[in-house]
């Protein structure tokens, strides 16, 4: 099993899976029927023993509740992180100058998350069928997000994993800026298959962010600032309002569109 096999198999799955297209049953409006949610995923591979994971236990990063790769899979050798960028149609639908997320973006957030799960399960099966032990933390029963003490963090952070593997750096709005930008979804998988780790092509936490500040006025909850980055509480409160208005769908993504990092690493 090679990196190329994993990447090419995942790309083929993404571009052909019915779950990556809005069905007639799920479509909010008829014009969304058949709409593709994601473009092909991009990948980065890290080592499970990377010292950066211990640093994530600090309060400044995630906290003591973060579980490093070997806690999920003691035999883990490789951490696979991937980013699936939203299609131009999904992104364009959310660029409108309104405080509410577009119907297209709501599809991307809800039906898109179903696809993220299915892609993870597909790669997991690919590795298991080849004889390798594998764990998908976000689908594991031990995965926990939110508590009185850790309200806006989880014991496995897809963003921090992406940073560790070399997939991208953080942006002012809290998302990860990859070669395909920020507008999309992240996932990760652990396996005892040993693959050569990719080099992190950066050293700074916000290296790909130009600090242009365009995400600040885009945010309908005023949750982003130069001084404090993204504050989770007002963002969460706004998402609750979206859920109330558009139940069972929710989302926002206004900080991920109409910005230089929407679909690429912005030029410095």
Residue 149 has pLDDT above 80, yes or no: no
Among 58, 221, 65, which residue's Cα sits nearest to residue 148? Answer: 65
**How far is 141 from 138, CA to CA, in rounded Å?**
8
> Is the pTM of the predicted complex or chain greater than 0.85?
yes
Cα–Cα distance measured from residue 76 to residue 173, given in angstroms and rounded to the nearest whole number: 31
**Which backbone phi and psi does 176 adopt, to 5 degrees?**
-105, 130
- If one compares 59 and 177, the residue with the highest pLDDT of the two is 177
| Neighbour-count burial of 1, counting CB atoms closer than 10 A to its CB (0-12 exposed, 13-18 middle, 19+ buried) | middle
131 C-beta neighbours (distance < 10 Å), count:
9
117 burial level (CB within 10 Å; 0-12, 13-18, 19+): middle
CA-to-CA separations, 250 to 55, 95, 120, 199, 264, in angstroms, rounded: 32, 17, 22, 36, 25
Q: Does the pLDDT of residue 148 top 60, yes or no?
A: no
Distance, in Å, from the CA atom of 261 to the CA atom of 216, rounded to the nearest integer, reads: 13
Over residues 50-62, mean pLDDT: 92
172 and 230 in contact (C-beta within 8 Å)? yes
Distance separating alpha carbons of residues 63 and 226, to the nearest angstrom: 23
- What DSSP state is assigned to residue 198? P
Q: What is the pLDDT of residues 112-138, one digit of tens each?
A: 999 999 999 999 999 999 999 999 999
CA–CA dist 206, 199 (Å, integer):
17
SS3 146: coil
Mean pLDDT of the chain: 94
Query: What is residue 105's predicted lDDT score, i.e. its pLDDT?
Result: 96
Q: What percent of the chain has pLDDT over 90?
A: 90
The C-alpha atoms of residue 53 and residue 71 are separated, in whole angstroms, by: 11
Which residue shows structure tokens 């090419």? Answer: 8
Once rounded to an integer, what is the mean pLDDT over residues 89-105? 93
Q: Which spans in the chain are helix H?
A: 3-16, 52-55, 69-72, 88-93, 103-129, 158-165, 215-218, 232-246
What pLDDT is attached to residue 153?
Answer: 81
Distance in angstroms between the alpha carbons of the first and the last residue of the chain:
38
């Amino acid at each position: 099993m090679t990196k190329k096999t994993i990447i090419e198999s995942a790309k083929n799955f993404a571009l052909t899976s019915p779950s990556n297209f809005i069905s007639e049953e799920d479509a909010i409006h008829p014009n969304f029927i058949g709409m593709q949610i994601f473009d092909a995923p991009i990948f980065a591979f890290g080592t499970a023993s990377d010292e950066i994971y211990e640093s994530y236990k600090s309060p400044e990063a995630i906290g003591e509740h973060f579980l490093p790769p070997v806690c999920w899979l003691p035999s883990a050798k490789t951490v696979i992180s991937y980013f699936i960028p939203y299609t131009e149609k999904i992104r364009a639908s959310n660029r409108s100058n309104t405080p509410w997320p577009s119907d297209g973006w709501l599809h991307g957030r809800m039906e898109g998350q179903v696809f993220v799960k299915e892609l993870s399960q597909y790669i997991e099966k690919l590795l298991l069928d080849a004889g390798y032990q594998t764990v998908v933390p976000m689908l594991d029963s031990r995965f926990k997000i939110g508590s009185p003490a850790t309200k806006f963090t989880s014991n496995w952070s897809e963003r921090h994993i992406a940073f560790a593997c070399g997939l991208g750096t953080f942006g002012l709005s809290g998302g990860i800026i990859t070669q395909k930008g920020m507008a999309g979804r992240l996932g990760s998988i652990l396996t005892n298959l040993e693959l050569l780790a990719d080099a992190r092509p950066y050293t700074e936490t916000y290296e790909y962010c130009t600090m242009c500040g365009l995400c600040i006025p885009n945010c309908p909850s005023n949750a982003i600032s130069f001084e404090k980055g993204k504050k989770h509480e007002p963002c969460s409160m706004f998402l609750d309002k979206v859920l109330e208005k558009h139940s069972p769908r929710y989302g926002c993504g206004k900080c991920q569109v109409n910005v230089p990092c929407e679909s690429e690493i912005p030029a410095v």
